[in-house]
Amino acid sequence: MQKWLLKEIIEHAKKHSPYYRELYKNAKTDNLSDLPVIDQTNFWKSEVVTSTSPDGIVFKSGGSTGAPKYSYFTHLEWMAYTTSFGWGMSEGILDHGDRVGNLFYAGDLYASFLFIKDSLQFIPAEKKKITQFPIAGQTDHIQILKIIEEFGINTIVGVPSAILTMLEKYNKTRFPKLKIEKILFGGEALYDDQHQALRNIFPDIKISSIGCASVDGGMIGYSSRDCANNEHRVYDDASIIEIVDPDTNEVITEKNILGKVLLTNLTRKLMPIIRYPAGDMAMWLEDEGVPNRKFKLQGRSEEAARLGTLSVYFEDTREMIIKSLSEISGIQFQMVLTHFDHKDELVLKIAGVNLSRGSGIEKRVLEAFSKDKTSYEELLKKNLIHPLKIEIVEQKTLENNSRTGKLKRIIDMRSKQ
């Protein structure tokens, strides 16, 4: 697998990327923790790539607002990424002889289907020999069930909400030979109600994360057989994971202390990823120095909300709201994530001077949101998320951090439901 030393990646970024050259001009580079944390808004608006070489592959991130966010890989970097993820998958619940149906989505520069296809292909044969079936999630649901039954597919991989929607068409009488033994999920969290719904259909099913990664940053963690729900292990050969205090960015090394996840990728030079906020909150579960140290994800951080498979970046959404409500002053808002009926809901709570309910404000914001996010409309049509909810509220009702007094940007209620 192609990889570099951290020092090589930093020096390459400083020399060849205008963004990193400016970011690091006054920074010490002796230790990773001396470097500034990437500001996602500036990162995606800047010249980050280090070469104009035509060798590579380009993907779009998960449907965020504002200007599209594109990730660039050389072909060797993409191979390194999928090779490492494939190795991580081999450490999980897959077994020799598993027949795996890939139900992730393809098209519109979306990475997940191709990423999982390539990762499954690179699982070391000496560890796990599997057969994969590249079905794709946008295939007609009845056709998916027919393929699963016809080929004796025992394992499916995909997005939890999409799998459950597909299984609404499942009927044991119509598909008597269909038996799904394992589900590896990704793209969004799996909540207790979804887990129970799957077990109601297949009582003995094994369910596991397929791994934690992003097209923005790369490999975050893999799910080994000793990992419970939301638990992953760092893939030491591919990335460096830091958990830091969300207010001070001080590195947290102790166990069971919640912090923000920063990702540094060791396999990418074309678009370097150094101390990039992954968008997750997490805590260490093992002592410092343990190889492939285990951590537990604990919801989203304040950079972006994850609505199903859609990343909704806070700063982009703030700009969209201010632009669509240009006559309103003193705008403040929060994103609130909830989960019911097996699907996520995003609520935008908006406050401002002389902002009142029933004045058409909600409709204007909803139209602006839908226009900025074609992926939102697609997920809505597929019944994978609940419609966006707009609430006009008083400033005093917005929730603040009790320790710092700062307005909370994103409130994730899903783990409490």
Assign residue 108 the CATH number of its domain. Answer: 3.40.50.980
Whether residues 205 and 83 share a domain: the answer is yes
In a domain, 167, yes or no: yes
Do 85 and 190 belong to one domain?
yes
Same domain, 61 and 142: no
Range picked from 237-241, 326-330, 351-355, 375-379 for highest mean pLDDT: 237-241
The pTM score is: 0.81
- Residue 224 falls within a domain, yes or no? yes
Looking at the 3D structure of the chain, how many domains does it have?
3
Residues 198 and 227 in one domain: no
- Cβ–Cβ contacts within 10 Å for residue 382, how many? 16
Q: Is the pLDDT of residue 17 over 60?
A: yes
Per the CB < 8 A criterion, the answer to whether 234 and 293 are in contact is yes
Res. 64 pLDDT band, cuts 50 70 90: very low
Parallel/antiparallel/unpaired status of strands 276-284 and 294-300: antiparallel
| pLDDT higher than 90, residue 265 | yes
Give yes or no: residues 197 and 223 share one domain.
no
Query: Tens digits of per-residue pLDDT, 53-63?
Result: 779 999 987 54
268 within domain boundaries = yes
For residue 322, the domain's CATH number is 3.30.300.30
Judge contact between 220 and 212, C-beta under 8 A: yes
**Residue 398: pLDDT band with limits 50, 70, 90:** confident
Provide the pLDDT confidence category of residue 65 given band limits of 50, 70 and 90.
very low
pLDDT in tens, 128-153: 999 999 999 999 999 999 999 999 99
Co-location of 361 and 393 in the same domain: yes
- Is 263 a domain residue? yes
Residue 272 shares a structural domain with residue 367: no
Domain boundary among 179, 209, 239: 209
Instruction: Give the residue, 110 or 1, on which the prediction is more confident.
Output: 110
Quick one: 115 and 56 in the same domain? no
405 pLDDT band, cuts 50/70/90, is: low
Average pLDDT over residues 344-365: 85
100 and 164 share a domain?
Answer: yes
* Owning domain of residue 195: 79-209
pLDDT of residue 315: 79
Across the range 363-385, mean pLDDT stands at 86
Chain-wide mean pLDDT for the chain?
90
Q: Are 205 and 218 within one domain?
A: no
Residue 321 is encoded by which pair of tokens?
């709201």
In a domain, 292, yes or no: yes
- Does the residue 1 lie in any domain? no
Confidence of residue 1 (pLDDT cuts 50, 70, 90): confident
What is the per-residue pLDDT for 415? 64
Residue 199 lies in a domain: yes
* Statement to judge: residues 312 and 397 lie in one domain: yes
Residues 176 and 91 in one domain: yes
370 domain residue, yes or no: yes
What is the C-alpha separation between 354 and 280, in angstroms, rounded?
Answer: 35
Task: For residues 189-211, give the mean pLDDT.
Answer: 91
What CATH number is attached to the domain comprising 57? 3.40.50.12780
Confidence of residue 361 (pLDDT cuts 50, 70, 90): confident
> CA 368 → CA 11, 68, 205, distances in Å?
41, 16, 42
Q: Which of 245, 278, 300 is at the close of a domain?
A: 300
Of 209, 224, 250, which closes a domain? 209
Among 105-119, 241-255, 296-310, the range scoring the smallest mean pLDDT is 296-310
